[in-house]
Structure 1
Amino acid sequence: MNRLFLIMVVIGVPLSVIGSLMHWPAVIMFVVYCLTIIALAGFMGRATESLAIVAGPRIGGLLNATFGNAVELIISIFALKAGLVTVVLASLTGSVLGNLLLVAGLSFFVGGIKFKRQRFNVHDARHNSGLLIFSIILAFVVPEVFSMEMNDQDTFTLSIGISVILILLYLAGLFFKLVSHRGIYQQDSEQVEKENEEHEEPEWGKWKALIILALATVAVGYVSENLVHTFEVVAESFGWSEIFIGIIIVAIVGNAAEHASAVMMAYKNKMNVAIEIAIGSTLQVAMFVAPLLVLISLFLDTQMALVFSMPELIAMITAVFLTISLTNDGETNWFEGGTLLAAYAIMGIGFYLL
Structure 2
Amino acid sequence: MDRIFFIAVLVGVPLTIAGSFLHWSSILMFIICALTVVALSGFMGRATESLAIVMGPRIGGLLNATFGNAVELIIAIFSLKAGLVGVVLASLTGSVLGNLLLVCGLSFFLGGIKFKRQKFNVYDARHNSGLLIFAVVVAFVIPEIFSMKMTEQETLSLSIGISIIMILLYLAGLFFKLVTHRGVYITNNEERQKEEEEPEWSKKKAIIVLVLSTLAVAYVSENLVHTFEAVGTKFGWTELFIGVIIVAIVGNAAEHASALIMAVKNKMDVAIEIAIGSTLQVAMFVAPLLVLISLFMTTKMPLVFTIPELVAMVTAVFLAIMVTNDGESNWFEGITLIAAYLIMGIGFYLL
CA distance in 2, matches of 1:261, 1:298: 34
Alignment correspondent of 1:256: 253
Alignment correspondent of 2:153: 153
Alignment map for 1:73-222 (pairs within 5 Å): 73-191=73-191, 195-222=192-219
The answer as to 2:228 corresponding to 1:231 is yes
How far the C-alpha of 1:188 sits from its partner, in A, is 2.9
How far the C-alpha of 1:201 sits from its partner, in A, is 1.6
- Per-residue CA deviation, residues 258-300 of structure 1 (Å, 9 max, x unaligned), is 1110011011111110000000000000000000000001111
CA distance in 1, matches of 2:317, 2:299: 30
Alignment correspondent of 1:50: 50
CA distance in 1, matches of 2:109, 2:188: 22
How far the C-alpha of 1:200 sits from its partner, in A, is 1.9
Q: 2:237 aligns with which of 229, 236, 240?
A: 240
- Per-residue CA deviation, residues 31-85 of structure 1 (Å, 9 max, x unaligned), is 0000000000000000000101110100000000000000000000000000000
Alignment map for 1:316-327 (pairs within 5 Å): 316-327=313-324
Alignment correspondent of 1:70: 70
* Identical-residue share of aligned pairs (%): 75
Given residue 70 of structure 2, which amino acid in structure 1 is its aligned partner? A
CA distance in 2, matches of 1:268, 1:212: 21
State how many pairs are aligned: 351
- Per-residue CA deviation, residues 289-330 of structure 1 (Å, 9 max, x unaligned), is 000000001111110000000000000000000000101011
Alignment correspondent of 1:298: 295
RMSD in angstroms over aligned alpha carbons? 0.6
CA distance in 2, matches of 1:145, 1:68: 31
CA distance in 1, matches of 2:157, 2:30: 38
How far the C-alpha of 1:129 sits from its partner, in A, is 0.3
How far the C-alpha of 1:199 sits from its partner, in A, is 2.7
CA distance in 1, matches of 2:272, 2:58: 9
CA distance in 1, matches of 2:205, 2:42: 15
Q: 1:329 aligns with which of 291, 302, 326?
A: 326
> Which secondary structure does the structure 2 equivalent of 1:299 belong to?
coil
Given residue 176 of structure 2, which amino acid in structure 1 is its aligned partner? F
The answer as to 2:22 corresponding to 1:22 is yes
Q: 1:277 aligns with which of 268, 274, 277?
A: 274
How far the C-alpha of 1:127 sits from its partner, in A, is 0.4
Alignment correspondent of 1:265: 262
CA distance in 2, matches of 1:326, 1:36: 33
Alignment correspondent of 1:8: 8
Q: TM-score, normalised by structure 2?
A: 0.99
CA distance in 2, matches of 1:150, 1:31: 45
**Which ranges of structure 1 fall in alignment gaps of 5 or more residues?**
none
How far the C-alpha of 1:183 sits from its partner, in A, is 1.3
> Which secondary structure does the structure 2 equivalent of 1:20 belong to?
helix
CA distance in 2, matches of 1:47, 1:263: 14
CA distance in 1, matches of 2:314, 2:143: 15
**Which ranges of structure 2 fall in alignment gaps of 5 or more residues?**
none
Given residue 195 of structure 2, which amino acid in structure 1 is its aligned partner? E
Given residue 331 of structure 2, which amino acid in structure 1 is its aligned partner? W
CA distance in 1, matches of 2:14, 2:174: 38
The answer as to 2:30 corresponding to 1:33 is no
